[in-house]
Amino acid sequence: AQSVSQHNHHVILSEAASLELGCNYSYGGTVNLFWYVQYPGQHLQLLLKYFSGDPLVKGIKGFEAEFIKSKFSFNLRKPSVQWSDTAEYFCAVNPNTDKLIFGTGTRLQVFP
Amino acid sequence: GAVVSQHPSRVICKSGTSVKIECRSLDFQATTMFWYRQFPKQSLMLMATSNEGSKATYEQGVEKDKFLINHASLTLSTLTVTSAHPEDSSFYICSARDGGPSYEQYFGPGTRLTVT
């Protein structure tokens, strides 16, 4: 079945550690890719998006993601996390329709 | 820019009653709005897509007679949970698109519904 997978359900890091969150999707053809963040008690915010062009996408707050078409992946990275990055992170895919299909989310906890 | 609001943020209702949740795009015209449901510690599940002036398109397994969606204007969509039951308790989130070439959706803050 078509789906979006986030294999890391809960990640715990110390400040300054590097972060990589995995996202894989199973849709064929052209897709648009997104990473959203949900800070505690707040609404979903867009971190970054990929539509076309350079597969390495830079977003807000020092986040970046790389689209690897051959691996159907769009992993999120940050070289040095901060306590304020503690949040829920969602990968989402738009398979050329109006719909956004979300992954199950990854809860990131960063300890000072 | 691109702010979406929801009202109320929290609502508690008795079983069997109906509850209406509003979703508004504050600074843009939303040709398409989406309603999601988020269970605790789970992802967002798309319930329906609504286009201004037309009937909503519901996802498989979502009862259209139970979750009534109205998108009467380019800035307002409403979700009415009819004859609510405790299993309808959840976090309901709306999002909106502005009709441009980007498929980006702007999300509201969500509404926590508790049915007692």
Residue indicated by tokens 């600074």: B27
Nearest-CB residue to A94 (from B42, B103, B108):
B103
Nearest Cα neighbor of B13 from B76, B89, B109, B75 is B89
* Chain A, chain B: beta-carbon pairs less than 8 Å apart: 45
- With a cut of 70, say whether residue A105 has pLDDT above it: yes
Q: Which residues pair with A34 in a beta bridge?
A: A49, A92
Cα A69 to Cα A31, A66, A107, distances in angstroms: 10, 9, 25
Residue indicated by tokens 């979750």: B67
Which burial class, exposed, middle or buried, applies to A14 when counting CB atoms under 10 A from its CB (0-12, 13-18, 19+)?
exposed
Q: What is the pLDDT of residue B1?
A: 64
Q: What is the pLDDT of residue B53?
A: 81
User: In the predicted model, what is the mean pLDDT of residues B69-80?
Assistant: 92
Question: pLDDT digit string (tens) for A22-80?
Answer: 999 998 788 899 999 999 888 899 999 998 899 999 999 999 999 999 999 999 999 99
Question: pLDDT digit string (tens) for B88-116?
Answer: 999 999 999 887 776 788 999 999 999 99
- With a cut of 90, say whether residue A18 has pLDDT above it: yes
Cα B114 to Cα A41, B15, B81, B84, B95, distances in angstroms: 17, 10, 11, 9, 21
Question: pLDDT digit string (tens) for B32-73?
Answer: 999 999 987 778 899 999 988 888 999 999 999 999 999 888
Q: Which residues of B touch A105 (CB under 8 A)?
A: 41-43
By percentage, how much of chain B surpasses pLDDT 90?
70
Q: What is the pLDDT of residue A70?
A: 93
Distance CA B80, CA B51 (A): 16
- With a cut of 90, say whether residue B17 has pLDDT above it: yes
Distance CA A101, CA B28 (A): 23
Q: What is the pLDDT of residue B5?
A: 94
User: Is A51 in contact with B108 (Cβ distance < 8 A)?
Assistant: no
∠ Cα B66 B26 B1 (to 5°): 125
Which two three-digit tokens encode residue A72?
Answer: 């159907």
Q: Which residues of A touch B (CB under 8 A)?
A: 32, 34, 36, 42-46, 49, 51, 90, 94, 98-105, 107
CA dihedral B15, B60, A42, B85 (to 10 degrees): 10
Question: pLDDT digit string (tens) for A43-58?
Answer: 899 999 998 899 999 9
In our burial notation (b when 16+ CB lie closer than 10 A, e otherwise), range B4-26 reads: bebeeeebebeeeeebebbbbbe
User: In the predicted model, what is the mean pLDDT of residues A85-97?
Assistant: 90
Q: Which residues of A touch B110 (CB under 8 A)?
A: 43
Q: What is the pLDDT of residue A7?
A: 87
Q: Which residues of B touch A (CB under 8 A)?
A: 32, 34, 41-46, 49, 93, 95, 97, 102-105, 107-110
